[in-house]
């Protein structure tokens, strides 16, 4: 049976950061921010907020909407590029946090993956295999990122674009659901967006800290070109693979990278704006969590109805990409 998303939830930090505040901080006109990115506001974490706390809040909402108890969950999968710490996994911390709030959490597999902004679709693919094989009755897939902790406050290209947030989905076998998933990656482009210091290539030290490269780095112009080309090609190929013309698709959920990227993809693929959900203007680019957050918003507004053909499409650092076709 297909794997179905039966409940979604989202969580955002409380601190809202306006374009006016950032414009003053960066000494640029506020009108430039909305024009270049499409972002009006974003939410940044307070010290108490972490990837796991946001993930737990989003998960509780998704479980409630799905009407699923923790006893039924057989897998916890977290996708993030900003984990609470390198190890143990953020998924294990989420498991602990859920067990403290609800009864019935078993000793189920819990682990993280990192596919940057494509992470949610990569995670759906893994959870889909768990459920289809019978290894789990239900799965909890969570995307969570706290990018604000790794943004250079003086870097215009990243400081205005990224926000923090988490989105979660409960998956279970049903009559309708995931019909096809296609993933891809091209590691040649990894330098286009990266966090250089902190891993085994450039560990934290007095010398590496002096370089200032512990902040996220993004080569925006080149990344824009690659993103538009890869997203367009991947979406077109996916349409051909599924035999479903993009005009026949009822709704699209895209990774909310940047409004200019999305507009370029829409233009090349002839996708009308009314067939998409734009959460970017409210929350900014929340990395791997943009798709589940946008999906939660669309479902809440009843923009997606039973029987609809829905495509979720993502592109992220690495570079990575992915598309999933879901019959709702």
* 19 in catalytic set: no
C-alpha distances in angstroms, 265 versus 45, 211, 240, 272, 314? 30, 36, 17, 11, 12
Nearest to 196 by CA among 219, 178, 173, 179: 219
- Distance of alpha carbon 230 from alpha carbon 185, whole angstroms: 10
Kindly write down the DSSP assignment for every residue of 284-322, as one continuous string. Answer: -B-GGGHHHHHHHHHHHTT-S-TT-EEEEEEEETTTEEE
Encoded tokens for 317: 């650092």
* 312 in catalytic set: no
Are 144 and 288 contacting, i.e. CB atoms less than 8 angstroms apart? Answer: yes
* 117 in catalytic set: yes
Residue with tokens 């200019």: 260
**Helix axes of 30-37 and 259-269: crossing angle, nearest 10 degrees:** 30
Using DSSP, state whether 16 is helix, strand or coil: strand
The one catalytic residue in 19, 258, 285, 323 is 285
The one catalytic residue in 255, 258, 312, 323 is 255
Are 36 and 260 contacting, i.e. CB atoms less than 8 angstroms apart? Answer: yes
- Distance of alpha carbon 289 from alpha carbon 328, whole angstroms: 20
The one catalytic residue in 117, 258, 312, 323 is 117
HEC string of 94-159 equals HHHHHHHHCCCCCCCCEEEECCHHHHHHHHHHHHHHHHHHCCCCEEEEEEEEEHHHHCCCCCHHHH
Residue with tokens 């294990």: 92
Nearest to 73 by CA among 60, 57, 88: 60
Helix (H) or strand (E) holding 325: strand 320-327
Q: Which residues are catalytic?
A: 117, 255, 285
């Amino acid at each position: 049976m297909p794997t179905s998303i039966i409940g979604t939830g989202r969580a955002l930090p409380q601190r809202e950061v306006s374009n006016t505040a950032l414009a003053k901080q960066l000494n640029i006109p506020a009108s430039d921010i909305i024009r270049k990115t499409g972002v009006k506001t974003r939410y940044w974490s307070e010290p108490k907020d972490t990837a796991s706390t946001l993930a737990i809040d989003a998960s509780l909402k998704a479980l409630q909407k799905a009407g699923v108890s923790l006893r039924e969950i057989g897998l916890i999968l977290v996708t993030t590029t900003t984990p609470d710490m390198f190890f143990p996994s953020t998924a294990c911390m989420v498991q602990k946090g859920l067990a403290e709030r609800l009864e019935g959490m078993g000793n189920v597999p819990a682990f993280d993956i990192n596919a940057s902004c494509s992470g949610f679709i990569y995670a759906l693919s893994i959870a889909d295999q768990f459920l289809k094989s019978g290894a789990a009755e239900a799965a909890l897939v969570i995307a969570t990122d706290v990018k604000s902790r790794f943004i250079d406050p003086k870097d215009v290209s990243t400081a205005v674009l990224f926000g923090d947030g988490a989105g979660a989905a409960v998956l279970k076998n049903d009559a309708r659901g995931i019909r096809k998933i296609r993933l891809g990656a091209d590691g040649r482009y990894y330098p286009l967006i990266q966090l250089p210091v902190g891993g085994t290539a450039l560990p934290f030290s007095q010398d590496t800290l002096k370089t200032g490269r512990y902040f996220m780095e993004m080569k925006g112009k080149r990344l824009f070109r690659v993103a538009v080309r890869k997203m367009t090609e991947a979406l077109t190929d996916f349409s051909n693979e599924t035999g479903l013309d993009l005009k026949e698709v009822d709704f699209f959920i895209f990774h909310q990278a940047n409004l200019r990227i999305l507009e370029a993809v829409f233009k090349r693929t002839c996708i009308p704006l009314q067939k998409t959900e734009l959460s970017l203007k409210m929350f900014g680019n929340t990395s791997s969590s943009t798709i589940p957050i946008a999906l939660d918003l669309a479902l809440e507004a009843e923009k997606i109805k039973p029987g609809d053909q829905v495509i979720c499409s993502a592109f992220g650092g690495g570079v990575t990409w992915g598309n999933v076709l879901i019959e709702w």
